[in-house]
Structure 1
């Protein structure tokens, strides 16, 4: 082969340089490709902040320890802002800047950690801005354990934001902080576990000013001592109430649609006007009633038949 033919077939310096540039450019593209793919599929890059916050909020809806659980009766886990903030920096930035995501509060009181819990609650509430609140306040110990040292600071903080309560679930320790009348303009649903030894004989005015309240669920209540807008309730549950208490409730709850009474006490009780439960002889008028459950915890006697007379 002649020298002229060899010079035409072999690449020159310019061709080598061009190929190196192409190879380097291709390597850079390959290196950037994973991050570009991730950015295209990124939750944070595809959705506006308001929609992302709404998705997180839905995931953080409170389970109800008094009512809910899985098929084995075990309590469901609670997703908190702290859990979401551990996933990645983008999620952490979103959670820390979204008051809505702090508007669900779940606090299980313990005497050993009560002071630390009060500090945490104060900081938590400061992140909620003016959002309506859904909260679950339970006790890791028997309610009677709080007789001599009630969690006044924590109860007072919840009461101080009562105008923002939307959904509330709580136990009432032996203290009057949750007994007095407070303003509840947004409250729609409440679930309350009373201490049996404390409830009877104490008058609870907590729900007396709640214009949007439509559902109440009580455990161990003294119904006679509770002041509430019974006429506007559409859903009601009560455990451990007497026949007379139930009948008295049904006379006041003229718009009730669904109600359940469990572990009914068959004994009848008469209270004076200051107490005050007196059997009403007029027939019940429940035009909107669609469902009623009556579950007697003990043997049924003649008094039991008086509920629906």
Structure 2
């Protein structure tokens, strides 16, 4: 395994492990706070953390399976396990949002006082600190890997930051007699979770459907190849991403009378240049005589 693959493996493993530790710690703190406050918005945050643990555990095993080398039954590797984990997370996030709405609507119909608000505030401040730390780790891991599973995990933890700020807002307002806002803020959080579930699910589906890389990436690939000496043109560029691996296929147009040895040398240079730009890549190059292409 080369250094690039080692870096990818390290960062996705580290980020997925950190997510589990963070989520478990927040469950303990929020659970204790909810039992002593009976706040709907604290319950909203606790419910999300419970689903975070489940999603992060799935992520933990999915990224490790995705890192498994290609075998006879999976010649393109196991990278799509990350996208399947993203779909699973999307379903979990949707479920947590529905539970929050049902609970909050009941609390609106039968309002209750919130006790021991200071404990609830302390729990949410702790959660904000832990979540910020985790998001920093995930952001750094994303820059190193571009992992879809880590991106999905990071997306809903960033949402958690907004959620916890909303919970703080609700608890502070409750101190001034606006306890009814506790349940409405919980509903607002649920709606945000629905949006997050859609984003994660949509990206996962696109990956499973082998969506092309962005137009910018495709232009970069063509520019890199065309700048290699003796390359007369590029066509048939096809791209996709599976887990951390970018798959690139393209046709190089070369002079008709070029020797096979020289053509192979040009192809090797194009492949090396693309691998430099996309370290986690699998590249397939087909060589075409320029006269046939331009007939």
TM-score norm. by structure 2 comes to 0.22
Larger radius of gyration: 1
Higher strand share: 1
Higher RCO (Cα < 8 Å, 6 or more apart): 2
Higher helix share: 2
